[in-house]
Structure 1
Amino acid sequence: MEQFKHVGVTGRHGRSEVADTLRRLVTFLESRDVTIVLDSRITDMIPNHCHPICVRDALGEHCDLVIVVGGDGSLLGAARALVDFGIPVIGVNHGRLGFLTDICPSELETLLSEVLDGQYLEENRFLLEVEVERNGQIIDEGCALNDVVLHPGRSTRIIEFELFIDGQFVYKQRSDGIIIATPTGSTAYALSGGGPIMHPALDAIVLVPMFPHMLTNRPLVISGNSEVRLVICEVDHIDPQISCDGQIHLLGHPNDSITIRKKARQLKSLHPEHHDFYDACRSKLRWNHQEHCR
């Protein structure tokens, strides 16, 4: 396993408990004699430091590992910014669920010592890229680790759109929108919409209708290599939004075509050696905590 010598540090800005953990993390990394590079947005939370600073989007140019302190939202933002650099990311959880940031602050020094010594699990997580096409021109684009969502924005009206998968017409739907999620995102918004939980190792995409007019429109799991295209129908008199991880919002218009496909570069996600997806499900989703039979 790779041992890391240049470590980037980023996290959620503005929370006192995050600041405390960031300071502990920097002190720990200093004791490990690694080069520390700080995200410029968090430097005011770590006073009197003497480490190099750069914007988050450039951490991948200077580091061989990035540690994110915050919730899953913080890691989602870091993932989109760093995926093209091919460097691994690991999270220290200061959020609610923490499916992606799975190191507890109380175990920070112990578990990160193991990671820096090369004792960790590595997973490749794919992202989705989205393009919005209008009158034959790409007018906006984005990417998402969890999900791409077509929704009405501030309007309370339903959307009518057509769905194509790999060029084949699937259906025309009237609904509040649709969630297109990766296995990583299957435990996020898609789960609350009634979608299935997918193991992170699956090469699949799930499409979850949001309050469809026809109750026979159910979640649909397709190949991870499929290309999904949504066409907003002309009858709509609203400008729906296309959200990436709930953090990037693209504006659509009637007759726009929205194409979603797997991004070529994948995210390297690190976990402690004892990480277990099903254990995470039990603890985060409050599944039965009783001991198993054998």
Structure 2
Amino acid sequence: MEQFKTIGLIGRLGSAKVIDTLERLIRFLGERQLDVIIDESLAAALSDHGLPLAEREALAERSDLVIVVGGDGSLLGAARTMCRTGTPVLGVNRGRLGFLTDISPDEVETRVGEVLDGNYESEQRFLLEAEVYRDGELVGTADALNDIVTHPGKVARMIEFELFIQNQFVYSQRSDGLIVATPTGSTAYALSGGGPILHPKLEAMVLVPMFPHTLSSRPLVIDAASEIRIHIGDANEADPHVSGDGQTQIVSKPGDVLIIRRKAQRLTLFHPLGHNYFETCRSKLGWSSRMGD
């Protein structure tokens, strides 16, 4: 008996290659007599399939497994919904790097078939949640699998803020902003900012200043259970933006308070058997192979 009876399909819009892979998946899953639900955003691109459509939240609730076809950005968007229902996610890479979407489109039937047969590795990835308060009232929220970033927005100027961790004052800073990243996000924007790579099994967060005014300011790794509080300085001339995975935006005001903490729900991420995190780093980041290879 199939472990997964209903499969949800999500794909990145605007890519013929993504649509080609989705159509291959639909045929393959149909041959296995599985129920398939399509993300309603794909309705126009996949018009002749005759399969049910569902908005993202309903798709998560009705699916036993969700397959995301696209790049890591596509999976990031799906993760924020799938974590609420605990629906496992499997990624097929049709993007560039593919840290999270690790199945090659050339082997999609083989690898997806193995997962459907129960041959897979499963891991839990934690997310972050951010809340922005103004005069004590909640004015905006954001979730992120990769990172929460405070930045000046479209204005090219530094912002001032105070950082507190577990209610303890850390420092005041003038910089282009601050990246708060999960281990998943440590190989994304935070890495470009000079932050360390955190293994995904670590229960830790990394705080990476963006072009700080003082050269002594360095990335800081802290316990993932910590609560981070950022006080946006009253003297800021710009309205700093708070973004989640670069996909959701909150426009803050001087005097606002940003709170970031680990989200209670986690993403269940599936990989084919033999998945090796360090091999992924080698291939995606251009690390050297073993001598003699």
The C-alpha deviation readout for 1:117-173, integer Å capped at 9, x for no partner, is 011000100000000000011111110000000000001110000000000000000
CA distance in structure 1 between the partners assigned to 2:144 and 2:281 by the alignment? 22
Q: Is the 8 A contact 2:61 2:87 kept in 1?
A: no
Structure 1, unpaired ranges of 5+:
none
Counterpart position of 2:220? 220
**Match status 1:169 vs 2:169:** yes
Counterpart position of 1:118? 118
**Match status 1:255 vs 2:250:** no
Q: TM-score, normalised by structure 1?
A: 0.97
List aligned pairs for 1:163-202, cutoff 5 A: 163-202=163-202
Counterpart position of 2:237? 237
Secondary structure at the counterpart of residue 112 of structure 2? helix
Q: CA deviation at 1:57?
A: 2.4
What amino acid is aligned across from residue 28 of structure 2 in structure 1?
Answer: F
CA distance in structure 1 between the partners assigned to 2:78 and 2:137 by the alignment? 29
CA distance in structure 2 between the partners assigned to 1:147 and 1:61 by the alignment? 25
Q: Is the 8 A contact 1:125 1:266 kept in 2?
A: yes
Structure 2, unpaired ranges of 5+:
none
Q: Is the 8 A contact 2:84 2:265 kept in 1?
A: yes
Q: CA deviation at 1:292?
A: 7.0
- The RMSD of aligned alpha carbons is 1.1
**Runs of 4+ in structure 1 over 2 Å off:** 43-47, 289-293
CA distance in structure 2 between the partners assigned to 1:69 and 1:32 by the alignment? 19
CA distance in structure 2 between the partners assigned to 1:44 and 1:238 by the alignment? 40
CA distance in structure 2 between the partners assigned to 1:188 and 1:23 by the alignment? 30
CA distance in structure 2 between the partners assigned to 1:64 and 1:30 by the alignment? 16
The C-alpha deviation readout for 1:46-94, integer Å capped at 9, x for no partner, is 2321211101222111101100000000000000122101110011001
CA distance in structure 2 between the partners assigned to 1:203 and 1:292 by the alignment? 36
List aligned pairs for 1:26-45, cutoff 5 A: 26-45=26-45
Aligned-pair identity in percent equals 56
Counterpart position of 1:269? 269
CA distance in structure 2 between the partners assigned to 1:290 and 1:256 by the alignment? 50
Secondary structure at the counterpart of residue 43 of structure 2? helix
The C-alpha deviation readout for 1:233-255, integer Å capped at 9, x for no partner, is 11111101000000001011001
Q: Is the 8 A contact 1:59 1:82 kept in 2?
A: no
Q: CA deviation at 1:291?
A: 4.5
The C-alpha deviation readout for 1:213-237, integer Å capped at 9, x for no partner, is 0010000000010000100011111
Counterpart position of 1:141? 141
CA distance in structure 1 between the partners assigned to 2:6 and 2:291 by the alignment? 41
Counterpart position of 1:157? 157
Q: TM-score, normalised by structure 2?
A: 0.98
Q: Is the 8 A contact 1:114 1:272 kept in 2?
A: yes
Counterpart position of 1:17? 17
